[in-house]
Structure 1
Amino acid sequence: MAKKIKDPGLGHNSKKNIKGIVNKDGSSNVIHLNKKFNIDDLYTFFIELTWWQFFLFVLLGYTLLNIVFGFVYMAIGIEEITPSRGNFLDDFLNGFFFSAQTLTTVGYGGIAPQGVTANLIAAFEAMIGLLSFSFITGLLYGRFSKAKAAIHFSDNVLLRDFKEHRAIMFRLMNSRKTVMIEPEITVTLSINEKNKEGEYKREFYRLKLERDKIMYLPTVWTIVHEIDDKSPLFKYSDKEIENLEAKLYALIQYHEESFGQKVYQITSYDFSEDLKSGVKYTPSFSFDEEGFTVLDHDNLDEVTRMN
């Protein structure tokens, strides 16, 4: 008899075709309404950006600051830093590039503030530049030093015959060359079904795995849940499992050598989209002529039909 577990924070209330709480990449799928902005959230916001988004923000911020100060120098009179060229565009470009030199504290010497007002503005801009680049440097360090797992999960989860029963399984491997030390995984099954009152409810089960912890992982780990009489999926046929509104949530933790600490990664599988039946995984690693183990990362999702 399958044993239900307490609500892990996802809620029992449900509806038909409900979306998963966690995306496959581990990000949250929750829509937040009326969330109050907190200045402390800025650091998390910039840390969580992708690299191209981060550098785009830096480029846009840098350009915008120089445009603003370029107009400021135009407003006080471009003659305060350099003789006027007689047209708006050339004068603005002089103000823009002088701003860039001041903001970065480069100071080529071709243009220099002449009056008190221009010197005060340039001094203020130099302070903003120092603070801005210190902030960006801190963010860069935070992004590089942030301990992060690099697990590659298979895109599919399989339903197949296994030993005397059936099993559902998926695979994972480390995207880095380091060895995963003491990896441990927890898999939660969420089943969404209509009850006798016609309401949809979610029930949660912690799946018993063939192995949920190993000493180290240099290659590929296949996570297997055998569908025996104690499994919550035992009462369903293969066809019913394929049509089941069910999701798997997998959380893995291990010691990462690169950072010298424990890291975590989460993913999810939707039975309606990711489940494949009657197939098995093809080997992801082989051996070369010299006896070395060769791990092919492109084969993690490869399957073949079972005989």
Structure 2
Amino acid sequence: MPPLHQKLRRESGLLVGRPRSVWRHWRDPYHFALAIPWPAFLVLIATLYLAINLLFAGLFRLDPTGIGGTAQPRASFAEAFFFSVQTLGSIGYGVLHPRGLYANVLVSIEALSGLLFVAITTGLVFARFARSNARIRFSQVAVVHLYNGVPTLCFRLANERGNILRDARLQAFLAVDEISREGHRLRRLKPLVLERDRGVAFLLVWTAMHRLDASSPLYGLRPEELARLHAEVVVAFSGMDQTIERPVHAQAHWPLERLRFGYCFADMIDEAPEGGRDGGPRRIDWSAFDRIRPCPLVTTVAEPTP
């Protein structure tokens, strides 16, 4: 599932125009190195490693006799490059060696550069591995149906790791465009009170529910009004991972086209053939996590027989 900010750019229709240049990331290289995917991170490290060795290989070539132990009196570019690799990695096989003041100064500078490069790369790799990831799965859609006679907004989330998340907390908001009397346009987040917004432990599945009563920001709003307001439901989850003892976070959002009015989620509890409702084995049917079925929003009351 793409990050939330990418979804907002595609689906909300609020962020338009050409994206800013990628060079802006170099203003904050640490955040950039942690935010990019692993393949891009490895390519970046390999590119920097290659660039450093190419740079020092060119500098070593400025002194024709600065590298000893070469096949020819003047070191080739390949020999200068691999001498740089050995210097940067403190390998020191002993065949190639620096000669003269200029080459030894370059070796000293490259050795220091190698120490800094290894230290920074090690820190970035450790930070990326140590970063906590919630692995929370949210339902593809949110539904609105009657529950105990009251229209209720529902969505599901599941703990894909199956471990225990302590002190789990869930916050839901209605994001809408709002124009003040003076004509100022603002994007407002209005809290949606959930029937249960926290739990001692979150292990498998959580169905969050918000009643659309008179106190709800969604009360009385029809789908066409929600479309005019560019409305969407935004959710933030937080908890403490019991395994790694670190806080984890996740977020999701449902724009209007992913809100299903008059539908409800299918039951995920599957009765085993030998079990019954009064006892026996049961299991969770994960294939029904996103499955929905029609649920009328209007109750029908049977007329009394004369």
Q: TM-score higher than 0.5 here?
A: yes
Alignment check: 8 A CA contact 2:172 2:235 kept: yes
Deviation per CA, 1:178-226: give whole Å up to 9, x if none: 1121211111112225677776554442111111112212111111112
- Say if 2:60 is the partner of 1:68: no
RMSD over aligned Cα atoms: 3.5
Distance 2:83 2:268 in 1: 57
- Say if 2:67 is the partner of 1:80: yes
How far the C-alpha of 1:67 sits from its partner, in A, is 0.6
**Counterparts in 2 of 1:122-141, with a 5 A limit?**
122-141=107-126
Return the match for 2:291 from 275, 278, 302: 302
Distance 2:267 2:56 in 1: 60
**Matched residue, 2:222:** 237
How far the C-alpha of 1:139 sits from its partner, in A, is 1.3
How far the C-alpha of 1:91 sits from its partner, in A, is 1.3
How far the C-alpha of 1:237 sits from its partner, in A, is 3.3
Identity across aligned pairs (percent)?
25
- Say if 2:106 is the partner of 1:121: yes
**The residue matched to 1:46 in structure 2 has which SS?**
helix
User: Which amino acid is 1:47 matched to?
Assistant: L
Distance 2:284 2:91 in 1: 50
Most deviating of 236-245 and 64-73? 236-245
Alignment check: 8 A CA contact 2:70 2:96 kept: no
Alignment check: 8 A CA contact 2:66 2:103 kept: no
Distance 2:237 2:218 in 1: 22
How far the C-alpha of 1:228 sits from its partner, in A, is 1.6
- Say if 2:155 is the partner of 1:152: no
- Say if 2:262 is the partner of 1:278: yes
- Say if 2:46 is the partner of 1:51: no
**Matched residue, 1:252:** 237
Distance 2:82 2:26 in 1: 34
Cα 1:160–1:242, aligned 2, differ >3 Å: closer, same or farther?
farther
**Counterparts in 2 of 1:263-274, with a 5 A limit?**
263-271=248-256, 273-274=257-258
**The residue matched to 1:262 in structure 2 has which SS?**
strand
User: Which amino acid is 1:115 matched to?
Assistant: G
Cα 1:279–1:37, aligned 2, differ >3 Å: closer, same or farther?
closer
**The residue matched to 1:215 in structure 2 has which SS?**
strand
**Matched residue, 2:160:** 175
User: Which amino acid is 1:282 matched to?
Assistant: A
- Say if 2:208 is the partner of 1:219: no
Using the size of structure 2 for normalisation, the TM-score is: 0.76
User: Which amino acid is 1:275 matched to?
Assistant: L
How far the C-alpha of 1:287 sits from its partner, in A, is 7.1
**Matched residue, 2:177:** 192
**Matched residue, 1:42:** 29
The higher-RCO structure (CA 8 Å, 6+ apart) is 1
**Matched residue, 1:4:** none
Distance 1:257 1:23 in 2: 30
**Matched residue, 1:99:** 84
Deviation per CA, 1:21-58: give whole Å up to 9, x if none: 95559xxx98889x99997x433332222212221111
Distance 1:242 1:281 in 2: 23
How far the C-alpha of 1:60 sits from its partner, in A, is 0.6
Which structure is larger by alpha-carbon Rg, 1 or 2? 2
How far the C-alpha of 1:247 sits from its partner, in A, is 2.1
- Say if 2:153 is the partner of 1:142: no
How far the C-alpha of 1:248 sits from its partner, in A, is 2.1
Structure 1: tracts of 5 or more residues without a match = 1-20
**The residue matched to 1:75 in structure 2 has which SS?**
coil
- The count of residues paired between Structure 1 and Structure 2 equals 278
Distance 2:283 2:153 in 1: 27
Using the size of structure 1 for normalisation, the TM-score is: 0.76
Alignment check: 8 A CA contact 1:173 1:221 kept: yes
**The residue matched to 2:97 in structure 1 has which SS?**
coil
How far the C-alpha of 1:120 sits from its partner, in A, is 2.2
Cα 1:69–1:126, aligned 2, differ >3 Å: closer, same or farther?
same
